[in-house]
Amino acid sequence: MLKLQHKQPLLSENDISTISQAFLEANITDLEVREEHVQALKGATTPKSNCVICHKAVSDKVKAYCFDHQKNIKKLE
C-alpha cells in the first residue's frame, strides 16, 4: 500500500545504512556483558499503580490517562 502511495522509497540507502550501523554499534556481543545487561533489565522494575475504585493494577498508559483526565489513582504500597 505504501508503495502505491509513495513513488520514492520512504528510506534512502543512506538512511538504511545509518540505521543498520546504529544497531550494530548498540549490539552487545560480549556474552558476559550481555547477560549482565539482561539481568539489569529484568531487575529494573517500576512501582505499579492501582485503580482506587477496583484496586486492579493499571498500566503506565492508563495511569498517564487518568492523571491527564483528573482521575484518582494511587501507587501500590
pLDDT (0 to 100) of residue 55:
82
pTM of the model: 0.41
pLDDT (0 to 100) of residue 15:
95
pLDDT (0 to 100) of residue 9:
83
Q: In this predicted model, what pLDDT tens digit does every residue of 23-73 receive, in sequence order?
A: 999 888 899 998 998 888 887 666 678 887 788 888 888 888 887 876 555
Distances (CA, A) of 16 to 2, 5, 9, 19, 77: 17, 20, 11, 5, 46
